[in-house]
């Protein structure tokens, strides 16, 4: 179901690269490996007494919970990536994200102070980048992750030029 507040009529949304799914999955997997490592510490350091049963309980429940979470994330992450989009209009940039809790962020070109591009190791390997928009408001979290590197560079230059023109009053 569409609402005009989230999805204004006449907007042609540009989507991020499908390769961004890989970035999100790798980040999620690394986080899970760290969590499983920490959760397995009681098993390693168990000495005696009632602690003997704790490793058995953890050995059964942790993998089951992790498997359920893995299936959930494998289904959710591709849909989350498909929900990310952006649209350039004459006076502002729209950024859309979210499945359950949808969000459309409007960033006027005249409010942009600078445009930043960040690249992590997995993004770099896949030729992707994250474009971050910094505005006068400290609470603005405007970023477009998963852009192809050439599109990110083009967008950075175009947004910087439009922002400078709006600040100059042109």
Matching residue, tokens 């591709």: 78
Q: Give the pLDDT score at 134.
A: 87
C-alpha distances out from residue 1 to 6, 7, 18, 79, 104, Å:
10, 10, 24, 16, 15
Can you read off the two tokens belonging to residue 155?
Answer: 């967008």
Q: Give the pLDDT score at 122.
A: 95
Backbone φ and ψ of 87, nearest 5°: -145, 130
pTM for this model (two decimals): 0.80
Helices of type H across 3-148: 20-39, 41-44, 53-83, 121-126
Stretches in the chain below the pLDDT threshold 50: 47-48
Q: Give the pLDDT score at 118.
A: 95
Q: Give the pLDDT score at 57.
A: 66
Identify any residues that bridge with 143 across adjacent strands, giving them in sequence order: 132
Long-range contacts of 3-12 (CB under 8 A, 24+ apart): 5/104, 6/96, 6/102, 6/103, 6/104, 7/96, 7/104, 8/94, 8/104, 11/87, 11/89, 11/94, 12/87
Query: Which domains, from first to last, does the chain contain?
Result: 20-80 (no CATH), 86-168 (2.30.29)
| H helix or E strand, kind and range, residue 157 | helix 149-168
Q: Give the pLDDT score at 52.
A: 59
């Amino acid at each position: 179901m569409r609402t005009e507040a989230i999805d204004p009529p006449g907007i042609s949304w540009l989507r991020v690269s499908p390769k961004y799914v890989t970035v999100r999955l790798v980040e999620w997997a690394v986080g899970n490996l760290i969590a499983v490592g920490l959760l397995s510490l009681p098993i390693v350091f168990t000495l005696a007494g009632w602690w003997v049963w704790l490793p058995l309980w953890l050995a059964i429940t942790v993998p089951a919970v992790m498997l359920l979470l893995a299936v959930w994330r494998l289904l959710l992450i591709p849909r989350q990536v498909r929900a990310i989009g952006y649209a350039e209009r004459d006076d502002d940039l729209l950024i859309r994200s979210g499945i359950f809790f949808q969000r459309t962020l409007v960033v006027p070109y005249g409010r942009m102070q600078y445009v930043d591009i960040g690249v992590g190791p997995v993004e770099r390997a896949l030729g992707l980048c994250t474009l971050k928009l910094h505005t006068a408001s400290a609470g603005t979290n405007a970023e477009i992750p998963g852009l192809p590197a050439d599109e990110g560079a083009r967008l950075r230059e175009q947004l910087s030029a439009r922002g400078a023109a709006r600040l100059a009053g042109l």
